Amino acid sequence: MQKRESVNQQFLGLLDSVAAHLHSLKEEGASSIVADPETVRRLGSAPIMPAPPPRKEPARQQDHGGTGGSLKDIAAQVAGCTKCPLHKTRTRTVPGQGSATPEIMFIGEGPGYDEDQQGLAFVGRAGQLLTKIIEAMGLTRDEVFIGNIVKCRPPENRKPLPDEMSACLPYLRAQIEQLKPKLIVALGATAVQGLLQIETVGITKLRGQWMSYQGIDLMPTFHPAYLLRNPPAKREVWEDMKAVLAKLGKTPPKRG
Ligand code: URA
C-alpha cells in the first residue's frame, strides 16, 4: 500500500514537472509540441492536474551595484557618496534635475563652479546656453531631465578621470532606468564615453549620428561650453536637435 502511494506521488510529481514545463513553453510563445501518439494516449488516461500557477518572475532590474530606488533615493545616495576622491573637494553634489517622466534626457560631463555652488546641473554660462537650445526646441527645462556623468565637480573643471566616471556611472544608470527617457542627448565626447564606457573618436565625427544606450536612442552633439568658444558650431547642434525632435514626431516651433 505504501509502495503504491509512493509510486503515485512519483507519478504526480512527474506530471507536475511536465505540466510546469509545458506551461513555461507556452509562456515562451510555443503554440504546439511534438509528441508521439503513445505518449498522448497515456497522458489522456492520466489524472488531470490543475495547471500550476504561473511562475512569478522577479521584476527585471539592472544591477547598479547597490544603487537605485526612486530619483530621490538616488539623489540621497549621491549626497552621501564617497566612492571617488571628488567627494573631498565638492561643495554640493549635483544629481541632476527636471521632469520625472522626460521624453529627452540631456547628459553633460560634470558640474562646474556654479553647479557645485547651487547643487543644480547646467546653471552656469554653458547651462544658460543649454536652456536656450531647449527652449528653441519648444520645450522647457522642467519638461526634460538634465544630468551629468559625474555628480561632483572635478577640480579646476578638468575632465573627469576614467575611475571617477566608472564610480559614478551606477547613479546615472539607475536614473535612466527610473526616468525611462525616449531619447538621450549626450553633450560632448565625455558624455558618450562615460555612459557607453567606450573609447570614441572625437565629437566632431560622432555628432549627428544616432547611437544607442540600452535600446534608447542617443544623439551625440557638441557640449554647450564648446559652443561658447565656437559659436558657428551652434548650426550643427541645431541640426542634431531637429533630428531629435523628428524622432519624437515633433518639429521646432516657428521663430517669431
Ligand atoms: N558642464 C557640464 O558638463 N555639466 C554641467 O552641469 C555644467 C557644465
Amino acid (1-letter code) at residue 80: G
Strand ranges inside the chain, DSSP E: 97-98, 104-108, 145-148, 183-187, 211-213, 216-221
Ligand 1 atom with the smallest distance to the CA of 94 is 6
Determine the Cα–Cα distance for residues 144 and 126; give it in Å rounded to an integer: 17
Q: What is the pLDDT of residue 49?
A: 43
Confidence bin at 46 (pLDDT 50/70/90): very low
Q: What is the pLDDT of residue 29?
A: 46
Distance CA(214)–CA(177), nearest Å, equals 10
> Higher pLDDT residue, 162 or 51?
162
User: How far does the centroid of ligand 1 lie from the alpha carbon of residue 192, in Å?
Assistant: 14
**Per-residue confidence band for 211, with pLDDT thresholds at 50, 70 and 90:** very high
Of the chain, the percentage scoring pLDDT greater than 70 comes to 74
Identify the pLDDT of residue 255. 80
pLDDT tens figures, 54-79: 454 444 456 676 688 999 999 999 99
For a mutational test of ligand 1's pocket, the pick from 115, 123, 152, 221, i.e. the residue with the most ligand atoms closer than 8 A to its C-beta, is: 115
Across the chain, what does the average pLDDT equal? 86
The CA-atom distances, in angstroms, between 158 and each of 52, 202, 206 are: 59, 17, 22
* Among the listed residues 126, 105, 157, the one whose alpha carbon sits nearest the alpha carbon of residue 231: 126
Helix-strand-coil percent breakdown of the chain, rounded to 5? Answer: 50, 10, 40
pTM of the model: 0.77
pLDDT confidence tier of residue 28, bands split at 50, 70 and 90: very low
Looking at residue 100, the DSSP 8-state letter turns out to be S
Listed in order, strand segments (DSSP E) in 19-134 are 97-98, 104-108
Q: Is the CB of 96 under 6 A from ligand 1?
A: no
At residue 131, what is the residue type?
Answer: T
Of 8-22, 81-95, 135-149, 153-167, the least confident: 8-22
Render pLDDT for 109-134 as a digit per residue (tens, 0 to 9).
Answer: 999 999 999 999 999 999 999 999 99
